[in-house]
Structure 1
Amino acid sequence: MKKPLCIGALALPVITTFLAAAPVQAQTQPLPTGIQRTALQRHDLTAPGRETVQTRIDFEPGAAFGRHQHPGEELIYVLEGALQYQVDGQPPVTLHAGEVLFIPAGTMHAAKNIGKTKASELATYIVEKGKPILTLAQE
C-alpha cells in the first residue's frame, strides 16, 4: 500500500527558498541617526527595466532624512506618528497615520518626524532597475 503524499512537506522547501530571496538588499549608504529601514520586498514589473521596492522606514522623535531623490516614483503611506515632508516646489505637508503622499520620479524631497513618539512609513518605489534606490542631494 502506498503512503499518502504530503503536499505541505514538498511545498515547504519551495516556499522557504522563495521567502529567502524576497527581502530587499540592505541600503549601501549609511542612514541618518534615528532612522531605520526594514526591507520588505522587491519584484520586477512587467514594464521593461522597472521594478518595485517596498520598505518600512522608522523615525525616532526628531529624526530627519535629508533631501534626496529616487529613480522613479515613491508612494508613501504613514503607518504611525506625524511626519513632515518637504517636496521641492511645494509647501511642507504634515501627514499622520493613514495618510498618503505621492513623490514624482527624480523629485528632491525630505522627511522629518515632528512628533514626540516614533513615526513610521511604508514606502513603495516604482523605479528603474539597476539604479541606486536613493541619491542624496549634493549640497
Structure 2
Amino acid sequence: MKTSRILAAALLAVGSGLALHAANAQQAGLHRTDLLQQDIGLPGREAIQVRVDFDGGAVSIKHSHPGEEVAYVLEGSLEYQLEGRAPVTLNAGEALFIPAGVAHVARNVGSGKASELATYIVEKGSPLVVPAE
C-alpha cells in the first residue's frame, strides 16, 4: 500500500513537470523561472511565484489559470488583453490582478526585453497554465 502511494506521488510529480514543460514549449520567446511553490492556509490551494522573461515582441498563448494571478512588471512594457476588457499596458513597477479562469494574453510591446513577476493562488494539483480554445 505504501509503495503504491509513493509511486502515485512520483507519477503525479513527473506529470505536473511535463505539463509545465509542455506549456512553456508552446510559448516561443518566453522564459519561465519557477521561484516558489508553497501550500497556504486555505485547504486545497497553493501559492506559486514565477518570473517570466519576454524576448522582444514575444506573445503568450491565450490562457487562463485555476486561480487568481497578480502580475507585477519588473522591467519593460507589457500589454495584457483580458477576455472581455480593453487591453492595458503596464510599465515596470505596475501591477495587474487577473481573476481566476479569465482567459488572457500578455505581449511585450516595449523596445527590448520585458519581465514580470507572476504570483498565483491556485487549486493545488491543477495545471498552472490552461490553454484557451
Smaller-chain TM-score bracket: 0.7 to 0.9
Give the drift of 1:28: 2.6
**Per-residue Cα deviation, 1:14-70 (whole angstroms, up to 9, x for no partner):** xxxxxxxxxxx5723224111100000100011000000000000011000021000
Which structure shows the bigger proportion of residues in helix conformation?
Answer: 2
Structure 1 residue runs without a partner (length 5+): 1-24
Contact 2:26–2:61 (Cα < 8 Å) also in 1: no
Runs of 4+ in 1 over 6 A off after TM superposition: none
How do residues 32-111 of structure 1 correspond to structure 2 at under 5 angstroms?
A: 32-111=27-106
- For 1:28, the equivalent position in structure 2 comes to 21
Could you state the TM-score of these two structures normalised by the residue count of structure 1?
0.79
Structure 2 residue runs without a partner (length 5+): 1-16
CA distance in 1, matches of 2:27, 2:128: 16
Aligned length: 115
**Per-residue Cα deviation, 1:63-112 (whole angstroms, up to 9, x for no partner):** 00021000000001000000000001110000000000000000000000
Could you state the TM-score of these two structures normalised by the residue count of structure 2?
0.83
Larger Rg: 1
